[in-house]
Structure 1
Amino acid sequence: MSMLSDYRDWAAAQSAPRVSNWLREISEPDWSATVAHPLFDALAEARLAEPDFAAYMVQDYGFVDPFTALIGHAIGHAPSMHDRVVLGQFMGMLTSDENSTFQRTFETFGVADQAADYLPETRAFQQLLVDTGMHGGYAEMLAVLVVTEWLYLGWATRITRAEGLHPLYAEWIDLHDSPAFQEFVAWLCRRLDEEALTLGDDAFASMAERFRDTVAKERAFHDAVWARVTTR
């Protein structure tokens, strides 16, 4: 049995099957553990101390450069101008609004982009982004983008914000629960669904494994950050 056959068996029992939903299911329990991570509750409830928030943002900022490069590769591999436009607009947001949030966080809390202090889990995720951009096909690139953005949408729309939350904490949440971001994530999932169904057995399996590996590395990253800030 191939992974494509597994998907087709699963799809036969669904009223409205989607590859993205199947991929999420086969990525449990890591998917739900990441969306429900205590790091995000502590952030939203103002229980994450400012130095710990800054430390988390330093680690997360480690993904911005390779992630931007991955989007560039995806734009180059995209099969249509429409895909290039949507991905290009997202890259614009990433390199302007989101990058600004990082930089103002570092300035406000007196920290720097401490690349030498990246956790092993951060470096492993960076390497996944680089490998996908250099060696993955368009569907694999979409799979990684779907995971990274859908998981962040998941936690940002799940948490409950405390009153009087620090503006930079709130801004970080705003970036990941806005209507525009929700629309982009929906587009990514739809495009992955469409592209995945054009793949043969081997390419489909590579795409699915890339999806699951990305989810596992997201969980490992957030577990490692949480362990660091709770033992400071």
Structure 2
Amino acid sequence: MTTRTEWSAWAAERKTASITDWLRELSEPDWSATVNHALFDALAEGRLSGDDFAAYMVQDYGFVDPFTALIGHAIGRAPGMEDRVVLGQFMGMLTSDENSTFQRTFEAFGVPAATREAPDYLPETQAFQALLREIGAGGDYAEVLAALVVTEWIYLEWALRITRAAGLHPLVEEWIDLHDNPAFQDFVAWLRRRLDEAAAGLDDAAFTRMAECFRETVARERAFHDAVMPR
């Protein structure tokens, strides 16, 4: 299901086809289940309590460290300065604007210092953290791009899909704003384009590794969001 031969057969049946579109389809039903997750509807409709929103953000913040490391690996393995500049700019946003949103959320909703310093991460959070670290440590540029495309494209799609209710807490609004703004849309489009280009030049074994990396990252996204959904 993840070979270049299967990609070629899929593309031959379509007038226009991109590798990233194929990878997304390959990752069903996990992709759609994550993008359409009830957590995001509850978030956008103001149905998450302050405690539940804070608990979700504590778990999600657990990805900032391995994710910034993953971007660092991408910068190191990028083929040239053009890619490094774009990835470096995104790293700057992540460690400034997005990090600030997390910290101010923890303050606003009274997350104890002990929880911030030593969070009790869910098993699904830990498994996803481990995957990101594994990809960063051993993956080639296309594999790292595959993981980045998944994490950012899924968040863009849910943020564009949801309908915001009036009167949301400003920090909830801010969290959505981070993932549906034009600059973020442009970054996701760039990531997809670069993965399409990088994957096209891979040998068969590397192509399969890249596709499996994409699909596994989607599966971990779904498991994480299922786990953090308030019961």
Which TM class, normalised by the smaller chain length? over 0.9
Matching residue of 2:90: 90
Matching residue of 1:5: 5
Contact kept in structure 1, 2:34 and 2:221, CA below 8 Å = yes
Query: Shift of residue 169 of structure 1?
Result: 0.3
Matching residue of 2:50: 50
Paired residues in the alignment total 228
Contact kept in structure 2, 1:78 and 1:138, CA below 8 Å = yes
Matches within 5 A, 1:66-85: 66-85=66-85
Which SS does the other structure have where 1:113 is aligned? helix
Separation in 1, partners of 2:25, 2:190: 19
Matching residue of 1:178: 181
Contact kept in structure 2, 1:2 and 1:201, CA below 8 Å = no
Separation in 1, partners of 2:203, 2:14: 22
Which SS does the other structure have where 2:116 is aligned? coil
Q: Unaligned regions of 5+ residues in structure 2, if any?
A: none
Query: Shift of residue 115 of structure 1?
Result: 3.7
Matching residue of 2:107: 107
Query: Shift of residue 14 of structure 1?
Result: 1.3
> Structure 1: which 4+ aligned runs deviate by more than 6 Å?
none
Give, as a single letter, the amino acid of the residue that structure 1 aligns with 2:86. Answer: V
Contact kept in structure 2, 1:71 and 1:87, CA below 8 Å = yes
Q: Unaligned regions of 5+ residues in structure 1, if any?
A: none
TM-score normalized with structure 1 length = 0.97
Contact kept in structure 1, 2:7 and 2:19, CA below 8 Å = yes
Query: Shift of residue 114 of structure 1?
Result: 5.5
- Equivalent in 142, 161, 164 of residue 161 of structure 1: 164
Contact kept in structure 2, 1:61 and 1:113, CA below 8 Å = no
The more displaced of 104-113 and 70-79 is 104-113
RMSD across aligned C-alpha pairs, in angstroms? 1.0
Q: What's the % identity of the aligned pairs?
A: 72
Cα deviation, 1:92-143, whole Å, max 9, x if unaligned, reads 0000000000000001111142644100000000001100110000000000
Separation in 2, partners of 1:113, 1:24: 34
Separation in 2, partners of 1:136, 1:49: 39
Separation in 1, partners of 2:2, 2:26: 14
Separation in 2, partners of 1:86, 1:10: 31
Cα deviation, 1:40-83, whole Å, max 9, x if unaligned, reads 00000000001000000000000000000000000000001000
Which SS does the other structure have where 1:17 is aligned? coil
Matching residue of 2:209: 206
Give, as a single letter, the amino acid of the residue that structure 1 aligns with 2:110. Answer: G
Separation in 2, partners of 1:17, 1:164: 41
Contact kept in structure 1, 2:156 and 2:185, CA below 8 Å = yes
Separation in 2, partners of 1:70, 1:206: 17
- Equivalent in 134, 151, 157 of residue 148 of structure 1: 151
Separation in 2, partners of 1:20, 1:43: 28
Give, as a single letter, the amino acid of the residue that structure 2 aligns with 1:151. Answer: I
Query: Shift of residue 15 of structure 1?
Result: 1.1
Contact kept in structure 2, 1:44 and 1:159, CA below 8 Å = yes
Separation in 2, partners of 1:56, 1:114: 16
Separation in 1, partners of 2:11, 2:85: 31
2:162 corresponds to 1:137? no
Query: Shift of residue 16 of structure 1?
Result: 1.3
Matching residue of 1:64: 64
Contact kept in structure 1, 2:62 and 2:121, CA below 8 Å = yes
2:224 corresponds to 1:221? yes
